[in-house]
Structure 1
Amino acid sequence: MREGYRKSKHRVSRNSLLKSPEILYLFVVSLTSESMNVHPVERAAAVAGGYKALGDLLGVTKGAVHQWLAEGRHVPAVHCPTIEAKTGVSRKDLRPHDWQKYWPEPTTESVAA
């Protein structure tokens, strides 16, 4: 060993983030999601800790979560409240085309009743 060089006590390497490209990607997405147009499932996965972690929260596979990213595919409505509660990604973002059908906005008439 070279003179003056001490081995780090930490077992985490400097390149540990590079060993998992998915984690690195999701970390970058979480940092830039405010300023960029990022798919809501990607934002939810970034908060949850990855696609597998999001799938585990919902009781589905990582593959199922990836399918929701495909054009024309949507997060099943049954999972939206859990995703919103655990990650903060809104139901409106997850199902922009039909969220009103499942979660109608309260109107002044229904509030007064």
Structure 2
Amino acid sequence: MTTTAFQVPFTGVIGDPFPFATVSLAASTGASPGPGVARLSATSMCPAFTPGANCTTYTSATVVRWLNLSTGAAGTVTVPSGSFGVPGKEPVVDVPTGSGHVTATVLGESSATIVPGLGYFFVP
């Protein structure tokens, strides 16, 4: 399995636990979840103006718009809010992107976006 951190984290008005937060995402591809599928996960949420300070494993829901540059397939998914280590509450979603080079834009589900997140990864 290969995990690629999104190159630009999403920053927006979240409200709880931070008024302005940066949410980092990653894409896992390969043997698990399987060929042609990317597993998107939120990996942390931190205060926007003090990166790395008081980060939490809880993350707010984010909307990801993706485009497979190799095939032209596109879609929108929501990575749910949740916490790592809590079964059934982990912030992950499997996305059938198809094989190829994929780019993704990340926006807040219900917050004002300050800086959209961006990611680029390969799905075998």
TM range (shorter): under 0.3
TM-score if structure 1 supplies the norm length?
0.24
Structure in which a larger fraction of residues adopt helix: 1
Structure having the higher Rg: 1
Report the TM-score when normalising by structure 2. Answer: 0.23
- Bigger strand fraction: 2
